[in-house]
Amino acid sequence: MTLLDRTAVSPTYGCFDRSYWHYRMLDFPCGMSQEFVLPLALVWSMQELPDNPYRGDPQIREWIEAGLRYAARAAHPDGSCDDYYPFERAAGAAAFSLFAILRAAEILDMPADTELDRFMILRSRWLAEHVESGRLSNHEALIVSCLESAHRRFPTEGFEAAMHQRLKRLLSWQHAEGWFDEYGGADLGYLSLTIGLLADLDRRRPELSLRAPLAAAIGFLAHFVHPDGTVGGEYSSRSTLNFFPFGFEIAAAWSAEARAVSQEVMRPLIENRTPCYSDDRIIGHHLWAWLLTLQNVCADPCAAAELPSGRRWFEGCGLLVDREGENMLVAALARGGVYKYFSGGKLAVSDTGVTLRRRSDGKTAVTHLGGSVTAVNGSSLASSGPMSFAKGALLTPLKNVVLRLIMLSLGRFFPDLIRRMLQRVLVTGKNDAPYRYDRRFEKTQRGWTVRDAITSADGWSDVGLIGISGHQTSITTIMARVYQQDQLACFIALTDELVGLDANTPLIFERRLSAT
């Protein structure tokens, strides 16, 4: 509610982008921000919250409606909206916000309304027809859910056929291993959102036959539930720590594996150990997801299955998991061997690979941007390849002016072209650095040994800092880089090891991961 402009006579009444209407730091409102109508609507309506002071409050309802109307007024004429840049027409922001808007309108039992209905139809049509660059399965699942909701509110507008078309597209992105594609790999956090949206759709539309793809996705994710109840991290394709549990509560009615996952992932929530999502741009996703989880607690769940144990190599996404009781290794061999190791049910080591910074230009080289050569042979694992320069470009006043001019001219008419260019710069592109890495894992009766060997084509004189971080990411992912208590682990500095090291001699670092 602090994010919301609550002044009824204000021209931005109903806007949830405080940076725009209050701080006036932005020159356009973020369309994603209107997603906050859904957590407000859920709190206003839910009986499941004990001593809920907001339930049925007429002022809360008025603010929700103001949020819906502001979304309509702030949209482009075609129904789309912007997220980070003017005229961006961002599919993710449009889908997240429309999902929230349609659900909030349903919760409030909003009657037919010329302004709002026209807007919801326009945005639904825009999403139905728009194909964004890159494969983001969670966005596609949101679009499917929006179109199904739009069909229920506007049954004569053709959204049913569009929903089937986009659902077919989404299901074609599911790998045989069970995961849904997120920028060419498996991301556990975004996968949990895709599972949640499909489980919710399956409950409402069982004739769509979604149980089989859901079971495959749930079965894949179950391998990666950590012994402490957390899921995901820097080893995922988009390095996220977020998790959306509501779909597992829904699916627990028919899936023993979903029940097992749900039991474990609830522990961090109950024990206040979740990562910090208190960021204006992402907290809304988690607020409505947690409220939906509470609302959908399964009254008659299946008996929980055991979480998968033993070793499993998912070659399609380059992830290996090895679980023995409360000891677990999960490693992204395709991404330089980024790994997390749990011992005795607790995180013992998080390692995002060797990283270094050059003196001459300040550039950072990392091992975890993908493209590794991998090998899995018995008790030995290997990941090797060239290091890559991290993506750390920041805005400057000049860059900001140029970007605004581009978006106000070329970007106004070709937003997808600009998006593809920015994706390459910030997410998918990769420039090799003159260093190579070779990471090898060996399993023994006492645990694992991890050995790193780094070589330099130009010698070591230009390396100002080298070491290993436990939580470094080098791509732009909106939901990544949140704080988690386990990140209170020191950077392992290896710079002193370079003293006296011959230019052609590799830097070797080895550590043992003990099982308890």
Q: Give kind and range of the element (H or E) at residue 222.
A: helix 211-222
Q: Give kind and range of the element (H or E) at residue 354.
A: strand 354-358
Give the CB-side neighbour count of residue 161, counting CA atoms within 13 A.
Answer: 5
| Rounded distance between C-alpha atoms, residue 15 and residue 31, angstroms | 9
Q: What is the pLDDT of residue 422?
A: 72
Q: What is the mean pLDDT of residues 311-322?
A: 97
Q: Where are the alpha helices (DSSP H) in 46-136?
A: 58-74, 91-107, 114-129
Residue 73 pLDDT class (50, 70, 90 cuts): very high
DSSP 379-445: TEEEEEEEEEE-------HHHHHHHHHHHHTHHHH-HHHHHHHHHIIIII---EEEEEEEEEEEEET
Q: What is the pLDDT of residue 428?
A: 62
Contact 453, 482 (CB under 8 A): no
Q: Where are the alpha helices (DSSP H) in 252-356?
A: 256-270, 283-295
pLDDT tens-digit readout, 170-210: 999 999 999 999 988 999 999 999 999 999 999 999 999 99
* All structural domains of the chain with their residue ranges: 310-391+429-514
Percent of the chain at pLDDT exceeding 90: 82
pLDDT tens-digit readout, 466-478: 999 999 988 778 8
Q: What is the pLDDT of residue 426?
A: 65
Q: What is the pLDDT of residue 239?
A: 92
Percent of the chain at pLDDT exceeding 70: 99
- Chain position carrying tokens 């979740």: 274
Residue 516 pLDDT class (50, 70, 90 cuts): confident
Most confident of 200-209, 387-396, 440-449: 200-209
Q: What is the pLDDT of residue 474?
A: 84
Q: What is the pLDDT of residue 427?
A: 64
441 strand-pairing partners: 381, 450
pLDDT tens-digit readout, 268-289: 989 999 999 998 889 999 999 9
Residue 57's contacts (CB-CB under 8 Å, 6 or more residues apart) are 44
| Rounded distance between C-alpha atoms, residue 359 and residue 362, angstroms | 6
Tell which residue, 165, 44, 154, has the closest CA to residue 108.
Answer: 44
Contact 460, 501 (CB under 8 A): yes
- Chain position carrying tokens 């050059």: 358
Q: What is the mean pLDDT of residues 391-419?
A: 82
DSSP three-state, residue 509: strand
| Residue 247 clears pLDDT 90, i.e. is over it | yes
| Rounded distance between C-alpha atoms, residue 199 and residue 258, angstroms | 10
Q: Kindly report the backbone phi and psi dihedral angles of residue 282, in degrees, each rounded to the nearest multiple of 5, phi listed first.
A: -125, -15
Q: What is the mean pLDDT of residues 206-218?
A: 98
| Residue 394 clears pLDDT 90, i.e. is over it | no
Least confident of 283-297, 321-335, 349-363, 414-428: 414-428
**Torsion 149-154-159-161 (CA) sign:** positive
Residue 21 pLDDT class (50, 70, 90 cuts): very high
Q: Give kind and range of the element (H or E) at residue 513.
A: strand 507-514
182 strand-pairing partners: 136, 185
| Rounded distance between C-alpha atoms, residue 130 and residue 116, angstroms | 21
Residue 72 pLDDT class (50, 70, 90 cuts): very high
Residue 425 pLDDT class (50, 70, 90 cuts): low
Least confident of 39-43, 65-69, 384-388, 429-433: 429-433
Q: What is the mean pLDDT of residues 440-459?
A: 94
Residue 419 pLDDT class (50, 70, 90 cuts): confident
Amino acid at 238: R
| Rounded distance between C-alpha atoms, residue 116 and residue 470, angstroms | 47
Q: What is the pLDDT of residue 485?
A: 87
